[in-house]
Amino acid sequence: MIKIFFDVQEEYYLPQYTPIAEALLSRGVDLSFVCYGANSSANIPDCYTAIEVQDSKEALKLYNVKKPNYIFLGNTFQGIELLNHKIKTALVSHGIGPKACYYEISDCEPSVRFVEGPYRTERLQSIYPEQTFIDVGYAKLDPVVNGELSNITPVKYGLDPRKKSILYAPTFFPSSIENMSDSFPEDFSEYNILIKPHYFSMASEKYQKQRDKLNLWDKADNVYLAKSNEINLLPFMAVADVLISDASSALFEFAALDKPIVWCDFYKLRWSYRGVFSFRFKNRMDEDLYKYAGIAVHAKAYKSLKKLVESQVNSPEELSDIRMRYTEDLAGKVDGQVSKRIADYIMSN
């Protein structure tokens, strides 16, 4: 029997992994999720086998003892060169956002990397000519494209089904959270507001100020703040009529569903990324941040946000052609069959 492990360095890799895991399980493979840290497997569905390890060293030891046919990675894996030569690795990026690390994670030289669309496949191949890249699309979107989440409504989150719903999904850095008004819920009182922060915003000590603001907003009746165990953005995307985000993969994921986006350009940068150190910000962000900026309307400051949200809610089709054109580059085929294509490759290789 084919044995496959999914390397879960961070819990937020799971929404990308689980559609692939389901496609592989239907083919009868022996499949396990390897999670890092005590109680790290709490969010693994009961239908899967979960194994907890302390760190990458312990994971490496486990892999060399168990000798799976494939290990799926969501990021770089320290010590990949020390794996038994019979073990293959498959990289599926945990996001398709506008950060330079999207390309840099291939430094670890996996056996194969599954990529989202021809543009990024060609670009990766030019950077790493000796590696294998397969254009399949973005597996994370399969459940929503296939209609598996179509029955979710604002009522699930205790919100008013008569109102349009905003999804605010900021990343942790550079983030727009600190530059959003404390009165955000009041200013948008005619809308439901679903807030799905990045995992690090909720878990890391350095982002306490972000949590303070998020918890303040959560007191409002028209706000639902995602719980720490609600890792998957997809259910919130399925409900939302419009997205507000910043330098996040959510921008491109929502665009792939042909829904309107307001892109916040008012980031909060650390002092070490400002002024003479602004090159650090440019190095962190990929050129795609600017090349594909046309998928959304842009808010230069919080004060312009309300008018832009209203325009996109009232005319959701305004940028549809651009969203679909750019989606082909950044997410590839959006047909609900991405996980199947990945499983087919694994089973035949």
Q: Which domain holds residue 57?
A: 3-138+334-348
Residues 78-107 have pLDDT tens digits of 899 999 999 999 999 988 866 677 888 889
The verdict on 76 and 8 lying in the same domain is yes
Q: Do residues 289 and 247 touch, judged by C-beta distance below 8 A?
A: yes
The verdict on 18 and 94 lying in the same domain is yes
Q: What pLDDT does residue 99 have? A: 62
Q: Do residues 55 and 78 touch, judged by C-beta distance below 8 A?
A: no
The verdict on 23 and 96 lying in the same domain is yes
Through-space distance between the first and last CA atoms of the chain, rounded to whole angstroms: 14
The verdict on 160 and 134 lying in the same domain is no
The verdict on 229 and 149 lying in the same domain is yes
The verdict on 150 and 286 lying in the same domain is yes
Domain count of the fold of the chain: 2
Closest residue by Cα to residue 256 from 338, 346, 344, 152: 338
Mean pLDDT of 10-34: 95
Distance CA 5, CA 44 (A): 13
* Mean pLDDT, all residues of the chain: 90
Distance CA 141, CA 88 (A): 25
Gyration radius of the chain over CA positions: 20
Q: What pLDDT does residue 175 have? A: 83
pLDDT band at 270 (very low <50, low <70, confident <90, very high): very low
Distance CA 255, CA 198 (A): 18
Judge whether residue 39 has pLDDT over 90: no
What the block records as the tokens of 132 is: 């294998």
Mean pLDDT of 300-304: 95
What the block records as the tokens of 134 is: 């397969």
Instruction: Express as a percent the part of the chain with pLDDT over 70.
Output: 92
Residues 138-176 have pLDDT tens digits of 999 999 999 999 999 999 999 999 999 999 999 877 788
Residues 41-78 have pLDDT tens digits of 988 988 899 999 999 999 999 999 999 999 999 999 98
Our CA angle for 197, 199, 204, nearest 5°, is: 110
- Which domain CATH number covers 25? 3.40.50.11190
**Cβ-count burial 149-164 (b if 16+ within 10 Å, e if not):** beebebeebebeeebb
The verdict on 110 and 159 lying in the same domain is no
- The answer to whether the peptide bond before residue 197 is cis (omega within 30 degrees of 0) is no
- Which domain CATH number covers 177? 3.40.50.12580
Q: Do residues 265 and 298 touch, judged by C-beta distance below 8 A?
A: yes
Q: Do residues 212 and 219 touch, judged by C-beta distance below 8 A?
A: no
Distance CA 273, CA 108 (A): 27
The verdict on 58 and 95 lying in the same domain is yes
What the block records as the tokens of 14 is: 């799971």
Distance CA 302, CA 187 (A): 11
Q: What pLDDT does residue 304 have? A: 96
More confident residue, 204 or 234: 234
261 forms beta bridges with: 243
The verdict on 127 and 244 lying in the same domain is no
DSSP letters for 230-266: ---SHHHHHH-SEEEESSSTHHHHHHHTT--EEEE--
Mean pLDDT of 216-226: 97
The verdict on 228 and 123 lying in the same domain is no
The verdict on 227 and 111 lying in the same domain is no
The verdict on 54 and 187 lying in the same domain is no
Neighbour-count burial of 76, counting CB atoms closer than 10 A to its CB (0-12 exposed, 13-18 middle, 19+ buried): middle
